[in-house]
Amino acid sequence: MEKALLLDAGKCTGCEQCEIACSMIKEGVSNPAKSRIKVFNFHDEGRFVPYTCTQCDDAWCQQACPVDAISLAPTGAKVVSDALCVGCKVCTIACPFGTINYNPSSGKVIKCDLCGGDPACAKACPTGAITWVDASATGYEKMKSWAQATDAGQQANA
């Protein structure tokens, strides 16, 4: 069964436990700035939205990498090889979501790799805003069928 992160902004309180857990696992420090998951704070609305790499099927970051440093892991994650990454940052430009970032400490890029199939962010989230679920539970198929129906409707109206 394929699994995926399910992010539910409606449950997010902005506690940043996901960011702390990620930075501890990945960088060995409690520093949200070094996390691969971020919580965006919409101050005016009093809302928080967790976001991270969506592990795109046709990953633009992977396609843009000139040294093939990004590969597909068994978990479905696109993983950056530190040994191959030259720190050119082309992948950061290619990502339309801004979820792959340059780490000046290492001179390499960093992105979510789903913690090898055991995401620390999901385990640390106290409200269930981040969960590790069967990929079919994320609503991807529903969104895809809606998009296809919408596209078909637009083509019929053209």
Distance of CA 129 to the CA centre of its chain: 14
* Number of CB atoms found within 10 A of residue 87's CB: 14
Whether residue 80 contacts residue 70, with contact meaning beta carbons closer than 8 Å, is answered with yes
Q: What is the pLDDT along the chain (158 residues), one digit of tens a residue?
A: 689 999 999 999 999 999 999 999 999 999 999 999 999 999 999 899 999 999 999 999 999 999 999 999 999 999 999 999 999 999 999 999 999 999 998 999 999 999 999 999 999 999 999 999 988 776 656 566 666 775 555 555 55
pLDDT value at position 142?
57
Equal fold, 1-52+119-158 vs 56-111: yes
* CATH numeric code, 1-52+119-158: 3.30.70
pLDDT value at position 137?
72
Which residues, in sequence order, are bridge partners of residue 41? 48
pLDDT value at position 1?
66
pLDDT value at position 147?
66
Q: Give 14-27 as a DSSP string.
A: ---HHHHHHHHHHH
pLDDT value at position 138?
66
pLDDT value at position 60?
96
Q: Give 20-87 as a DSSP string.
A: HHHHHHHHSS--GGG-SSEEEEEGGGTEEEEE-----TT-HHHHH-TT--EEE-TTS-EEE-TTT---
CATH topology of domain 56-111: Alpha-Beta Plaits (3.30.70)
| Per-domain boundaries in the chain | 1-52+119-158, 56-111
Half-sphere exposure of 48 (CA within 13 A, CB side): 15
pLDDT value at position 152?
56
Half-sphere exposure of 51 (CA within 13 A, CB side): 9
pLDDT value at position 134?
87
Q: DSSP code of 94?
A: H
**pTM of the predicted protein model:** 0.82
pLDDT value at position 148?
73
